[in-house]
Amino acid sequence: MLQLADNAEQTIPFETRSIENVSQSEVVAFIHHILSSECGMRVRRQLESSVAQFFEHFDTNTHLFTAYYDNDRLCGLLGVNFRSETTAILKWIFVAQEARNKGLGSYLIDSAISFAHQTGYQRLILCTATKMEAAHYLYRKKGFVFKEDVTFWRRPMKILECDLSTVS
């Protein structure tokens, strides 16, 4: 059970589950709901392929996956993927609307940075929807810098990067 501070008087419990204990269809539905409702992105087919590839090639030495649940409801998701010997991709970091502003997003980013650094990666990159302004703020706060605008799944996106040599 993971406990994150909501405020000084209360903690919010989250149960963590590894990739073996989460279905691909649940991951697809969770991500698709957030992307469609908040960004207008209808990309279920692309997500199904992306999630299937991640699950198929998952290796605990180079990848990280953790799902966070509150009362058996998926409320947060973290996935880090191998790109090269020196670069990891922060593939998924999603927090359900009702679980936001409780420290979970910040915890997920810290977990991804820590994993990538400890694994020996030099850079951690991510691709984010241009409409996710609150997430962009949090990424910058955690040391990510803008690299370029791209088109991914026929949508405008931003590439951000964290230089892991600056992580202590």
Q: Cα separation of 121 and 158, whole Å? A: 21
Q: Cα separation of 125 and 3, whole Å? A: 27
Note the pLDDT of residue 2.
56
Q: Cα separation of 142 and 137, whole Å? A: 9
For residues 108-143, b (16+ Cβ closer than 10 Å) or e, as one string?
Answer: bbebbbebbbebebebbbbebbebbeebbebbeebb
Q: 168 pLDDT exceeds 80?
A: no
Note the pLDDT of residue 111.
94
Domain ranges of the chain: 2-121
Which CATH code, of 3.40.630.30, 3.40.50.2300, 3.20.20.70, 3.40.50.300, is assigned to 2-121? 3.40.630.30
Q: Cα separation of 97 and 38, whole Å? A: 10
**pLDDT tens digit sequence for 94-113:** 999 999 888 899 999 999 99
Q: 119 pLDDT exceeds 70?
A: yes
Note the pLDDT of residue 130.
62
Q: 5 pLDDT exceeds 70?
A: no
**Interval 72-99 mean pLDDT:** 93
Sign of the Cα torsion 53, 57, 63, 69 reads positive
* Residues 139, 128 contacting (CB under 8 angstroms): yes
User: How high is the mean pLDDT of the chain?
Assistant: 87
The pTM is what? Answer: 0.87
**pLDDT tens digit sequence for 10-30:** 455 789 999 999 999 999 999
Note the pLDDT of residue 36.
86
